[in-house]
C-alpha cells in the first residue's frame, strides 16, 4: 500500500518524483531487511512471548476461552506488530521455529493453568498457511500435547479464509487430522477473503470469526450490519458458532447480543495480556 501510494504520488509529480518513489521503496526494503535479520535472533534472545486475549460468551458473560497472540519486543526497535513481522517470517522460513514456539508456549500455559479453567475452555492459536501445509506440523502438535499433557480439545486452530481456498487439499487434510484429535478449528477474518460458500459446509470447521472491519461500524453502517447478520445466519444453518472480533464498546456488544452472536473478543473486555495477568483477569471476571 505504501508503495502504491508512493507510485501514485510519483506519477503525479513527474520526473523528480521518480527519486522520491525509489527512496520510499528503499526505505520499505531496508525495514524488511532489518526486521528479517533481527527476527533471526529474537527467539534465541527471548524477545518473543505469547499473550492471551479473552473470548466471552454473550449468554453467560463468562470468559470461555482465549486467543494466543505473539508479541515481539526488540531492545532497540521496540514493539513490532505481528501484522508486520509474520509476513517476513513467512517469506524467510522463520515462521517454522516461530510457530513451534507459539504452539509450545500455548501448551505450557494450558498445562500450567488448566486446573483453573472450565472443562470446555479453549485457547486458540493462529496457524500460518505456510506451516499448515507442512506434514511435520501434525507430529509436532501431537508431540507438544503429549509432552505437556494437554487434551487436544483445549486447543483451537485459527486459519484465514484465503488459506483454505488456496491450498484446499493439503489444508483440509491437516485440519481433518486436528479435528480427529479433538481440537477445534476457526475461520479467522471471515468475510474479508474469497470463500466459496458451497465449500464451507464441507470444511472441518467449528467457528467463524467475523473480521473486525465489519464490527467497527456495525451499529451505524447498514452494509456492515447486513453482512454481519448474513454471516450469523449462515453460521446458524451450518451449525457453526460465531465470534465477533474487535468489539470495543457496549453499543456493539448489545447489538451483537441482539443478533444472537455467541461470542465476542475485543478491547471492551480486554486486550491481550501476558499469561499471569490473563489468569488474574480471568478469575476476577468469571467470579460474577
Ligand atoms: P488476528 O488473528 O485476526 O488477531 C486479532 C488482532 O486484532 C490482534 O492483533 C488483536 O490484538 C487485535 N484486536 C483484538 N481486539 C481488538 C479491538 O477491540 N480493537 C482493535 N483495534 N484491535 C483488536 P495483533 O496481535 O496485532 O495480530 C495481528 C495479526 O497477526 C493476527 O490477526 C494474526 O493474523 C497475526 N498473528 C498474531 N499472532 C500470531 C501467531 O502467533 N502466529 C501467526 N501465524 N499469526 C499471528
Ligand atoms: Mg486470529
Ligand atoms: Mg482475525
Ligand atoms: Mg484481523
DSSP states along 160-206:
EHHHHHHSHHHHHHHHHHHHHHT-EEEEEEETSS---HHHHTTS---
Torsion angle, CA of 102/130/244/287, rounded to 10 degrees? -10
Atom of ligand 1 nearest to the CA of 268: 18
- How far from the centroid of its chain's Cα atoms is residue 48's Cα? 16
The set of residues, in sequence order, having a beta carbon less than 8 Å from that of 5 and lying 6+ positions away, is none
Q: Is 126 in a helix, a strand, or coil?
A: strand
Each of the 288 residues of the chain gets a pLDDT tens digit; together they read 555 665 555 556 566 666 677 778 888 889 999 999 999 999 999 999 999 999 999 999 999 999 999 999 999 999 999 999 999 999 999 999 999 999 999 999 999 999 999 999 999 999 998 899 888 999 999 999 999 999 999 999 999 887 777 777 888 889 999 999 999 999 999 988 877 777 888 889 999 999 999 999 999 999 999 999 999 999 999 999 999 999 999 999 999 999 999 999 999 999 999 999 999 999 999 997
Rounded distance from Cα 115 to ligand 4 centre (Å): 31
Q: Is the CB of 211 under 6 A from ligand 1?
A: no
Give the helix ranges, DSSP H, for 43-187.
Answer: 82-92, 95-113, 129-132, 136-147, 161-166, 168-181
Give the span between the Cα atoms of 266 and 283, in whole angstroms.
Answer: 18
Tell whether ligand 1 has an atom less than 6 A from the beta carbon of residue 272.
yes
Rounded to the nearest 5 degrees, what angle is found at the Cα of 212, between the Cα atoms of 211 and 215?
105
53 within 8 A of 273, measured Cβ to Cβ = yes
Helix pair 82-92, 17-42: axis angle to 10 deg: 80
Residues 6 or more apart in contact with residue 283 via CB below 8 angstroms: 116
* Residue in the structure block whose three cell numbers are 499448515: 132
Ligand nearest to the CA of 156: 2
**What value of ipTM does the predicted structure carry?**
0.97
Dihedral sign computed on CA atoms, order 186, 281, 111, 73: positive
Q: What are phi and psi of 78, to 5 degrees?
A: 80, -155
Are 265 and 53 in contact by the 8 Å Cβ rule? The answer is: yes
Ligand nearest to the backbone CA of 189: 3
Q: What is the pLDDT of residue 81?
A: 98
Give the distance (Å) from ligand 4 centre to CA of residue 19: 34
Give the Å distance between the CA of 209 and the centre of ligand 2: 8
Residue identifier of the C-alpha nearest atom 2 of ligand 1: 126
Q: Taking Cα atoms as reference points, which of 244, 192, 232 lies closest to residue 67?
A: 244
Q: Does residue 163 have its Cβ closer than 6 Å to ligand 1?
A: no
Residue nearest to ligand 1 atom 37, measured at CA: 69
pLDDT at residue 237 in the model: 93
Amino acid at each position: 500500500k505504501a508503495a502504491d501510494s508512493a507510485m501514485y504520488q510519483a506519477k503525479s509529480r513527474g520526473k523528480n518524483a521518480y527519486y522520491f518513489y525509489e527512496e520510499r521503496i528503499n526505505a520499505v526494503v531496508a525495514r524488511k531487511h532489518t526486521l528479517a535479520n533481527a527476527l533471526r535472533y529474537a527467539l534465541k534472545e527471548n524477545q518473543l512471548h505469547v499473550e492471551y486475549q479473552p473470548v466471552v460468551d454473550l449468554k453467560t458473560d463468562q470468559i470461555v476461552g482465549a486467543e494466543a497472540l505473539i508479541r515481539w519486543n526488540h531492545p532497540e526497535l521496540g514493539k513490532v506488530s505481528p501484522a508486520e513481522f509474520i509476513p517476513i517470517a513467512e517469506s524467510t522460513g522463520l515462521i517454522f521455529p516461530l510457530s513451534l514456539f507459539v504452539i509450545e508456549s500455548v501448551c505450557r500455559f494450558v498445562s500450567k493453568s488448566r486446573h483453573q479453567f472450565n472443562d470446555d475452555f479453549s485457547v486458540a492459536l493462529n496457524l500460518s498457511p505456510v506451516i499448515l501445509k507442512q506434514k511435520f506440523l501434525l507430529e509436532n502438535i501431537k508431540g507438544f500435547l503429549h509432552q505437556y499433557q494437554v487434551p487436544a480439545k483445549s486447543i483451537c486452530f485459527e486459519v484465514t479464509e484465503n488459506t483454505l481456498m488456496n491450498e484446499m487439499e493439503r489444508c483440509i487434510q491437516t485440519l481433518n487430522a486436528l479435528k480427529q484429535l479433538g481440537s477445534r478449528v476457526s475461520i479467522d477474518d471471515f468475510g474479508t477473503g474469497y470463500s466459496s460458500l458451497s465449500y464451507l459446509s464441507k470444511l472441518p470447521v467449528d467457528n467463524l470469526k467475523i473480521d473486525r472491519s465489519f464490527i467497527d461500524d456495525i451499529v451505524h453502517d447498514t452494509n456492515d450490519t447486513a453482512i454481519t447478520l448474513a454471516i450469523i445466519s449462515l453460521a446458524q444453518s451450518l451449525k457453526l458458532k460465531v465470534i465477533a472480533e474487535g468489539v470495543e464498546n457496549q453499543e456493539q456488544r448489545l447489538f451483537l447480543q441482539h443478533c444472537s452472536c455467541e461470542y465476542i473478543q475485543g478491547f471492551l473486555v480486554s486486550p491481550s495480556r501476558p499469561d499471569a495477568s490473563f489468569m488474574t483477569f480471568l478469575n476476577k471476571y468469571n467470579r460474577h
